[in-house]
Amino acid sequence: MTQRDAAAPPERNYAVIAASLKTAPAARACDAGAMQRCVDALWNALAPTGVSWLGFYLHDPDNTLRLGATRASPLVLGPHRDKPACSPIGLKGVCGQALTTGKTRIVHDVTELGNKYIACDPRDASEIVIPLVVQFPDGAQRRWGVLDVDSHTVGAFDTSDDSGLRTALDAAGLLLVSAEIAPGTQPPIDQLLLAAYS
């Protein structure tokens, strides 16, 4: 049974989470180890506050990671907690919208999305998704994935969660990462994904 409308999102201490992530090794673009450390820190702190699932989806339209992505369903599941999730998924849902627009999506009540909601867990009632960006030496930027956070409670997330999650992602080196590549070259994002998962 889905819980309905919490009076207000619970207090979440993102400063403590960010401080714990700053002590970790520096991340590189699409760094699987950094994503797992971030997921573990966020899960340990946020699960008791009503978060039901969280994880990364990686944009891999060429199926470089061999995880089943297609052009129609280019988002594949990366590090996540604490149960399985749909993968690969298309761009019509909230994760795809955050990726394509480059803007955080906060969904107060997923039932309002109708067929634009991809329900991996039918108990989920609200969601926040934050896009992740890689910056190349020439200044060009490209979105490489998203952080997706779900709750069984309607209204579980607000702009303070957006700010707090961005602070944690930044501390982990995952919000805006610099591509370390040779001068004069710019590999496609799929090569960065492959390097991170090799």
Each residue of 83-127: pLDDT tens digit? 888 899 999 999 999 999 999 999 999 999 888 788 888 899 999
Closest to 125 (Cα-Cα) out of 177, 39, 56, 51: 51
Residue 31: pLDDT band by 50, 70, 90 thresholds? confident
Pick from 14, 22, 33, 40: which is nearest to 172 by CA? 22
Cis peptide before 84 (omega within 30 of 0): no
Higher pLDDT, 67 or 2: 67
132: which residues sit within 8 A by CB, 6+ positions away? 56, 143, 144, 145, 146, 147, 169, 174, 175, 176, 177
- All domains of the chain, ordered by start, with CATH? 14-197 (3.30.450.40)
Q: pTM for the full model?
A: 0.87
SS3 193: helix
Residue with tokens 């009632």: 125
Q: What is the pLDDT of residues 46-68, one digit of tens each?
A: 999 999 999 999 998 888 888 88
